[in-house]
A = this chain, B = another copy of it.
Amino acid sequence: MPVNIYDVAKKAGLSVVTVSRVLNNSSTVRDYNRQKVLKAMEELDYKPNAAARSLAKGDTGMIGLILPTIDDPFMSQVLFAVERAAREKGMFLVTAFAPGCEEPGYANPVSLFRENRVDGILILSPVKNEEYILELKKNGFPFVLLDQHHSAVQAPSVTVDNFYGGYQATARLIAAGFKRIAHISGSDIYESSAQRLEGYKQALRDHGLEIAEELIASGNFTIAGGYEALAGWIERGQLPEAVFAADDNTAFGVIDAARKFRISIPAELSVIGYDDHPFGSMLHPALSTVRQPTPELGKQGVELLLNVLSGKVKRAVTITLKPEVVLRDTTPAK
């Protein structure tokens, strides 16, 4: 039942080599013969066998994406962008989750590359220097890091400038005239959190504002974290004028707490989040935020990986994308 390349060759009255050539768009095929082959394939409803091609050629036409979780629009947006970019390049996407240390019994997706199931791997937001990354490196397996800044690993990567994002968000708040600007950071295991915090601090310094440790809270990138941080400040009588939250979840928690404590936004408190969560623009008040270039991140990641695979890129280049501040209703209308 399954028709193979010999069936096509026979039907077309040519050799399998020629059929293989039209399959691979080789230019050295007489157009007349190409048509015959195409016609035979059509009539036989022939589809090449991917495994046989892989075995013969040594590549798979697939790339892998390893990500920590998917419980966040940022992750899923990148996944979507990656899949799209991969498909546009004719590659399929194998997705594997690697929750990391947080979940012990969960095997690392090593066999994904150790068995040559994919040609290369994209690793999104590795939570720390996972040992499998080191292993990839040691084995010379092609991979690209997405959204990470662990200087410890030298590898091709495309990242978003989190320092810049943190700096810009804070600068906007300063420009609006605020002095008491708080920050709620994310999880320590993500480098991005530390960098947004640094951007916040630097913006304060550059504008001659003091860094008040009591206005820096830890929020763990969660709604609850944002809620508790604001509640804490309120209870201690330290309500800031504005808060830059390390992500939108945190910002939603801040808004939720503000509502609870009857603090009006943005009249009494301004808020800027990070990520541009879809809900941010749909709920009231619409959340001001720092938009991550997720489609670009996915696209550039795939392109970089393909360039690594083709040998065009040999060194550990880093492509840095800029996020963009989007001001909506949780900051003063200027």
- Compute how far the CA of A73 lies from the CA of B69 in the bound complex, rounded to whole angstroms: 12
Indicate whether A71 reaches chain B with its CB closer than 8 angstroms. yes
Indicate whether A232 reaches chain B with its CB closer than 8 angstroms. no
The one of B48, B96, B114 in contact with A47, judged by C-beta atoms closer than 8 angstroms, is B114
- Compute how far the CA of A94 lies from the CA of B62 in the bound complex, rounded to whole angstroms: 9
- Compute how far the CA of A79 lies from the CA of B61 in the bound complex, rounded to whole angstroms: 22
CB distance B60 to A69 under 8 Å? no
Residues of the B chain whose Cβ atoms lie less than 8 Å from the Cβ of A282: 222-224, 252-253, 256
Residue of B nearest to A117 (CB): B50
Indicate whether A137 reaches chain B with its CB closer than 8 angstroms. no
Q: Contacting chain B: which of A80-88, A148-156, A187-195, A302-310?
A: A80-88
Residue of B nearest to A75 (CB): B76
The one of B52, B83, B279, B284 in contact with A260, judged by C-beta atoms closer than 8 angstroms, is B284
CB distance A79 to B95 under 8 Å? yes
Residues of the B chain whose Cβ atoms lie less than 8 Å from the Cβ of A109: 87
CB distance A93 to B92 under 8 Å? no
Indicate whether A112 reaches chain B with its CB closer than 8 angstroms. yes
- Compute how far the CA of A52 lies from the CA of B49 in the bound complex, rounded to whole angstroms: 12
Copies of this chain? 2
The B-contacting residues of A in range 256-299, CB under 8 angstroms, are: 256, 259-260, 278-279, 282-284
Indicate whether A97 reaches chain B with its CB closer than 8 angstroms. yes
Query: How many interface residues does A have (CB within 8 Å)?
Result: 50
- Compute how far the CA of A75 lies from the CA of B77 in the bound complex, rounded to whole angstroms: 12
Residues of the B chain whose Cβ atoms lie less than 8 Å from the Cβ of A77: 70-71
A124 to chain B, nearest CB (A): 13
The B-contacting residues of A in range 100-114, CB under 8 angstroms, are: 107, 109, 111-112, 114
Residue of B nearest to A83 (CB): B97
Knowing A76-B71, A252-B283 touch, does A50 contact B83 (C-beta < 8 A)?
A: no
- Compute how far the CA of A216 lies from the CA of B239 in the bound complex, rounded to whole angstroms: 44
Indicate whether A115 reaches chain B with its CB closer than 8 angstroms. yes
User: Which one of A55, A87, A95 has the greatest number of beta carbons of chain B within 10 Å?
Assistant: A95
CB distance B96 to A92 under 8 Å? yes
- Compute how far the CA of A105 lies from the CA of B193 in the bound complex, rounded to whole angstroms: 38
Indicate whether A238 reaches chain B with its CB closer than 8 angstroms. no
Residues of the B chain whose Cβ atoms lie less than 8 Å from the Cβ of A96: 83, 87, 92-93
The one of B75, B76, B92, B97 in contact with A117, judged by C-beta atoms closer than 8 angstroms, is B92
Residues of the B chain whose Cβ atoms lie less than 8 Å from the Cβ of A115: 47-50
CB distance B49 to A55 under 8 Å? yes
CB distance B73 to A71 under 8 Å? yes
Residues of the B chain whose Cβ atoms lie less than 8 Å from the Cβ of A71: 73, 76-77, 80, 278
Indicate whether A17 reaches chain B with its CB closer than 8 angstroms. no
Knowing A49-B55, A55-B49, A279-B252 touch, does A95 contact B83 (C-beta < 8 A)?
A: yes
Q: Give the top 4 A-B pairs by smallest Cβ distance, nearest first.
A: A51-B54, A223-B282, A51-B55, A70-B76
**Can you name 17 A-B pairs with beta carbons within 8 Å?**
A47-B116, A49-B115, A50-B116, A51-B51, A51-B52, A51-B54, A51-B116, A54-B54, A62-B117, A70-B80, A83-B96, A84-B97, A93-B95, A94-B94, A95-B95, A223-B282, A256-B283
